[in-house]
Amino acid sequence: MSSPFPGFIFPINGKAEFLFNGTPYLLKTGTIVHGGANMRLDKRVVGKSKWEYILVLYKIVAPEPDDMTLSQEHFELQVGESSRLMELLRHLYQASSQPGGIASFRVETLFRNVLDEMFICARNQTNGGAQDLFEQAVGYIHEHYMEPLTLTMLAEQNNVSYNRLVYVFRKYSGMGPGDYILQYRLNRAKEILPSSKAPLRELVQSVGFSDPFHFSKLFKKHFGVSPSEYREKFLNNTC
């Protein structure tokens, strides 16, 4: 079998082997395969799990540049687990069943968003995208450090596995993501303490801690003095 249009195959459940013009690809969750137009396609399900997937066919309405022949290529992308990608695909499926010009425009927009997310995920799965992943994760921490943050949520936010996130943080910061969040929150508290007259409980909550006693213990461990002693010492030195 073959299709007159190129397309992407997104596995949802199970495993299957797809062959494009005789080249085999093992598809499973976290792997995407692109097949070119009019290519011979053979497939077989691997194992006993139910095989489920989403097939997205597309049409290029303008001539492709000479150095870009995507519609004639077959290749594999490792994207890992991505809840955002699955959500975009769900919206794309729903929009594709709707009639009218507005729905067609939405389909095109969603397809472009799927491509963007897909290639971002693929880049983050490679060593070449490690620094970009680190900078992206750090940027999120710096903007949301005052909110409840978990490593699982941070990994999902950046469409990577927990282990991948830990590896990248250790490589570029010398510490795990949990320690990085803790250190950043403590440093922010240290910056705020001298100029803030807010009660310690309010300040603690403003930098992402819920327990003032635990915060004070960590602050003294890292900086050698308690938060109240640090604030008093700083005020005495400026008088």
pLDDT, tens only, 97-153: 888 888 888 999 999 999 998 988 887 776 667 888 899 899 999 999 999 999 888
d(CA 184, CA 24): 47
Phi-psi category of residue 37: left, alpha or beta, with phi > 0 → left and psi -120 to 50 → alpha:
beta
Q: What is the pLDDT of residue 10?
A: 94
Helical pair 227-238 and 212-223, crossing angle rounded to 10 deg: 60
Q: Are 163 and 151 in contact (CB under 8 A)?
A: no
Please report, for the chain, the start and end positions of each structural domain, with discontinuous segments joined by +: 7-124, 127-239
pLDDT tens per residue, range 163-219: 788 888 998 999 999 999 999 999 999 999 888 888 888 989 999 998 999 999 999
The model carries a pTM of 0.56
Tally of CB atoms within 10 A around 193: 20
Distance of CA 69 to the CA centre of its chain: 28
Is the pLDDT at 65 greater than 60, yes or no?
no
Q: What is the pLDDT of residue 199?
A: 87
Q: Which of 212, 214, 194, 213 is nearest to 202 (CA)?
A: 212
| pLDDT band per the 50, 70, 90 thresholds, residue 69 | low
The whole-chain average pLDDT of the chain stands at 87
Q: What is the pLDDT of residue 53?
A: 92
3 state DSSP class of 29: coil
Residue 174, judged by CB atoms within 10 A of its CB (0-12, 13-18, 19+), counts as: exposed
CATH class of 127-239: mainly alpha
Q: What is the pLDDT of residue 108?
A: 92
Strand 23-27 relative to strand 52-57, pairing: unpaired
- Tell me: domain 7-124, CATH 2.60.120, correct? yes
For residue 37, give both structure tokens: 């137009």
- The DSSP code for 89 is H
SS3 content of the chain, % helix, strand, coil (to 5): 55, 15, 30
Q: Are 5 and 39 in contact (CB under 8 A)?
A: no
